C-alpha cells in the first residue's frame, strides 16, 4: 500500500458528509455548517482529558526540575505551538525558556508556508540540539495527521536522549506507530473542507495547548483563584489589570493599588505580598521564594494573624 493510500484512511483526510454541498450554500449557511462542526470539538477534547492531565503532570515535574517544555510542529500545528509558548511570559511572568515553540522551516514559516520543510526530519535534530533539548525537558510533538516526518523524528530523538515525549494528533490513532510517554489522540472527525486541518484540528489543538500551559502555570502557583496574579504589567492594559487585581485582593483604592504596583516593580504578586505581610519589596520576594511562588499560604497566614 502506498503512502498516499495510507493517508486516505485518516479521518481528517476523508470527506465530511455534512459539508459535501457547502459550495452551493449561501454565506450564512456556510457559516452555520462551520459553526455546527466546531461545536463537536469540545466533546472530542473532553474524551482525552485524562491524557492531557498526564501531560501536565510531566510538564510540572519537568519545570520543577529545571526543565522546559518544547512544542514541535509544522505548518498550523507548529504555529499554534509557537503562539502558546509566546503567550506564557506576559500572562504568567514565565521565563521565556519555560515553554518553547519550534516550527519546521524556522521563523519564516510563522508568516508564510515553507514548502517541504516538514519533510526534512534531519533538520529537527539540528533544531533541537541548537535549542538545547535535554533529558529533563518534555517534548510535545504536534501533528494533526500523525504522519509529519519532522515531528516524528523529533519524538524519536527526544526519547533517545531521555526526554519525556507526548504526541498530540487529531485522528483516532497514529498512522505511523511512535513510542511516546503519552499519546493524545483527539478524534475531531472529518474536516469541513477535506484535509484542511487548520480548521477543526487547529481548533482542537489550540484548546489542548491552552489547557496544558494554563494548568501547568496554575500548578506552579502562578494563579490565585482565577486571577493571573503573576502577570508582569508591561503595558497600559496589563498595568490596569494588575492594579484592579491588587485592589480586589487588598481592598485598596485603585490609585493606592496602582502606587503599590509600581513600588513592586510592576509585579502583581509581589505587591500583594507587600500589602498583606506589611513588608518591603525584597522581603516579599524572599517570602514568595520560601513558599515556592505560591501566594495563598502568605495570604492565609496574614488573615490568621
- Rounded-to-integer distance, Cα 139 and Cα 68, Å: 8
Q: Output the CATH code of domain 236-304.
A: 1.10.8.1080
- Rounded-to-integer distance, Cα 291 and Cα 111, Å: 42
Could you confirm whether 87 is annotated as catalytic? Answer: yes
- Rounded-to-integer distance, Cα 209 and Cα 69, Å: 11
Q: Where are the domains of the chain?
A: 7-219, 236-304
Superfamily of domain 7-219: Glucose-6-phosphate isomerase like protein; domain 1 (3.40.50.10490)
Amino acid 305: pLDDT: 52
| Catalytic site residue from 13, 118, 191, 267 | 118
- Rounded-to-integer distance, Cα 270 and Cα 261, Å: 8
- Rounded-to-integer distance, Cα 129 and Cα 111, Å: 24
- Rounded-to-integer distance, Cα 258 and Cα 244, Å: 8
Contact 295, 276 (CB under 8 A): no
CA 184 to chain centre: 14
Count of beta carbons in the 10 Å neighbourhood of residue 89? 17
DSSP β-bridge partners for residue 72: 102, 141
Count of beta carbons in the 10 Å neighbourhood of residue 282? 10
| Catalytic site residue from 54, 57, 87, 156 | 87
Could you confirm whether 290 is annotated as catalytic? Answer: no
Judge whether 7-219 and 236-304 match in fold.
no
Grid cell 483526510 in the structure block, residue: 13
Phi then psi dihedrals of residue 103, to 5 deg: -120, 140
Tens-binned pLDDT, residue by residue, of the chain (305 aa) = 344 447 777 888 778 888 899 999 999 999 999 999 999 999 999 999 999 999 999 999 999 999 999 999 999 999 999 999 999 998 898 999 999 999 998 888 888 777 677 777 889 999 999 999 999 999 999 999 988 999 999 999 999 999 999 999 999 988 888 999 999 999 999 899 998 899 999 999 999 999 999 999 999 999 999 998 998 788 999 999 999 999 999 989 999 999 999 999 999 999 999 999 999 999 999 999 999 999 999 987 655 55
Amino acid 1: pLDDT: 33
Amino acid 59: pLDDT: 98
- Rounded-to-integer distance, Cα 43 and Cα 35, Å: 14
Is the model's pTM score more than 0.75?
A: yes
Amino acid 93: pLDDT: 87
Nearest alpha-carbon partner for 198 in 142, 153, 149 = 142
Alpha-helix residue ranges (DSSP H) falling in the chain = 3-8, 27-38, 41-46, 49-64, 75-92, 121-131, 149-160, 200-219, 236-250, 254-263, 268-276, 281-290, 296-304
Contact 277, 257 (CB under 8 A): no
Amino acid 2: pLDDT: 41
Alpha carbon distance, N-terminus to C-terminus of the chain = 73
Query: If phi over 0 gives left and psi between -120 and 50 gives alpha, with beta otherwise, what is residue 243?
Result: alpha
Amino acid at each position: 500500500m502506498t503512502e498516499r493510500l495510507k493517508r486516505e484512511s485518516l479521518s481528517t483526510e476523508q470527506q465530511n458528509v455534512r459539508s459535501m454541498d457547502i459550495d452551493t450554500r449561501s454565506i450564512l449557511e456556510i457559516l452555520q455548517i462551520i459553526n455546527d462542526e466546531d461545536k463537536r470539538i469540545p466533546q472530542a477534547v473532553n474524551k482525552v482529558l485524562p491524557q492531557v492531565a498526564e501531560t501536565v503532570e510531566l510538564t510540572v515535574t519537568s519545570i520543577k526540575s529545571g526543565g522546559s517544555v518544547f512544542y514541535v510542529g509544522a505548518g498550523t500545528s507548529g504555529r499554534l505551538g509557537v503562539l502558546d509558548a509566546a503567550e506564557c511570559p506576559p500572562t504568567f511572568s514565565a521565563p521565556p525558556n519555560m515553554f518553547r515553540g519550534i516550527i519546521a522551516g524556522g521563523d519564516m514559516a510563522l508568516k508564510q508556508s515553507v514548502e517541504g520543510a516538514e519533510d526534512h526530519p534531519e533538520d529537527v535534530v539540528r533544531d533541537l540540539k541548537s535549542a538545547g533539548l535535554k533529558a529533563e525537558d518534555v517534548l510535545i510533538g504536534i501533528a494533526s495527521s500523525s504522519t509529519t516526518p519532522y515531528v516524528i523524528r523529533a519524538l524519536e530523538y527526544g526519547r533517545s536522549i531521555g526526554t519525556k515525549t507526548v504526541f498530540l494528533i487529531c485522528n483516532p490513532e497514529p498512522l505511523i506507530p511512535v513510542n511516546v510517554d503519552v499519546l493524545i489522540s483527539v478524534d475531531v472527525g472529518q474536516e469541513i473542507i477535506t484535509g484542511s486541518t487548520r480548521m477543526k484540528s487547529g481548533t482542537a489543538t489550540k484548546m489542548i495547548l491552552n489547557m496544558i500551559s494554563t494548568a501547568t502555570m496554575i500548578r506552579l502557583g502562578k494563579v490565585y483563584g482565577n486571577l493571573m496574579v503573576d502577570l508582569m504589567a508591561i503595558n497600559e492594559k496589563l498595568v490596569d489589570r494588575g492594579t484592579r487585581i491588587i485592589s480586589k485582593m487588598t481592598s485598596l483604592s485603585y490609585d493606592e493599588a496602582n502606587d503599590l504596583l509600581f513600588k513592586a516593580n510592576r509585579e502583581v504578586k509581589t505587591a500583594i505580598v507587600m500589602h498583606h505581610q506589611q513588608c518591603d519589596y525584597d522581603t516579599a520576594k524572599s517570602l514568595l521564594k520560601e513558599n515556592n511562588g505560591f501566594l495563598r499560604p502568605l495570604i492565609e497566614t496574614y488573615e490568621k494573624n
